[in-house]
Amino acid sequence: MDTYHVGLYIHLLSLLIGFSAGVVEAICLLKLRGAETLEAAVPWGQLAGQIEKAFPVAIIGLYATGAYMAHDFWSFSDSWVLIPIIGLALMSLQGLLVAGRQGHKLKHALMANGPGPLGEEARRLTVDKLLWSAAFTNGVLVLGIVWVMVEKPGWGGGIAALVISYGVGIALALSLAKKPAVEAAAAPGPAA
């Protein structure tokens, strides 16, 4: 196996680590959204807190191997190389500055809540649109970036792919970042 294929393998492995962590994060958000009590929310919040550690590993792996392959085998002036770098930078900043901060606010709200039903602040943060938007746009951006790297379009097609991916991620986040409908608590009693 030559160095290009080793680099490509590590690049794809880094992509799988990041994408898989994003899927787990999305599941955590869906489960937190439906949690009514602290006891139901804590396991999903803890898992989300642990999984966030996978993102820097994936990002470093993608940048390092991508830079190696672009430098030695491709060109940084190719649109299909530069557009994914910009997309990954956007995802990195959005993950750190938006998802990370909003996730920590949710963590502190859950810690302040105490046992029992979730209070208003914790419930509000489980469906925080900024948190959900960062999580879902990052996941869909990965799919757009992969498309750009496989299809190798020009600048217009590559930028359009990322813009469309971002829009789909926002639409998904906004449609899902709502508390599920709660069924009526009391069923009608028997007729007298």
Contacts with 72 (C-beta within 8 Å, 6 or more apart), sequence order? 3, 4
What is the domain count for the chain? 1
Range of the domain at 44: 3-176
The H or E element containing residue 184 is none
Residue with tokens 């830079």: 67
Q: pLDDT tens digits, residue range 21-41?
A: 989 999 999 999 999 999 999
The arithmetic mean of pLDDT across residues 137-148, rounded, is 93
The arithmetic mean of pLDDT across residues 109-138, rounded, is 92
Supply φ then ψ for residue 117, to 5 degrees: -60, 150
* Any domain includes 132: yes
Give the pLDDT confidence score for residue 190 in this predicted structure: 54
* Any domain includes 68: yes
* Any domain includes 183: no
Helix axes 155-176, 79-94, angle to 10 degrees: 30
Q: pLDDT tens digits, residue range 62-104?
A: 999 998 988 888 888 888 899 999 999 999 999 889 988 999 9
- Residue 95's alpha-carbon distances to 65, 103, 172, in angstroms, are 21, 10, 17
What rounded mean pLDDT belongs to the chain? Answer: 89
161 pLDDT more than 50: yes
Cα separation, 21 vs 24, whole angstroms = 5
Instruction: Please return the burial class of 135, using the count of CB atoms within 10 Å of its CB with bins 0-12, 13-18 and 19+.
Output: buried
Beta strands in 12-80 (DSSP E): none
183 pLDDT more than 80: no
The arithmetic mean of pLDDT across residues 37-66, rounded, is 91
CA 155, 137, 76, 149 torsion-angle sign? negative
DSSP string for residues in 91-126: HHHHIIIIIHHHHHHHHHHHHHH-SSB--HHHHHHH
Give the pLDDT confidence score for residue 25 in this predicted structure: 92
* Any domain includes 130: yes
Supply φ then ψ for residue 37, to 5 degrees: -125, 160
Q: Which two tokens stand for residue 106?
A: 């949710």
182 pLDDT more than 60: no
174 pLDDT more than 90: yes
Cα separation, 59 vs 73, whole angstroms = 20
Cα separation, 168 vs 63, whole angstroms = 25
* Any domain includes 184: no
* Any domain includes 152: yes
* Any domain includes 70: yes
* Any domain includes 182: no
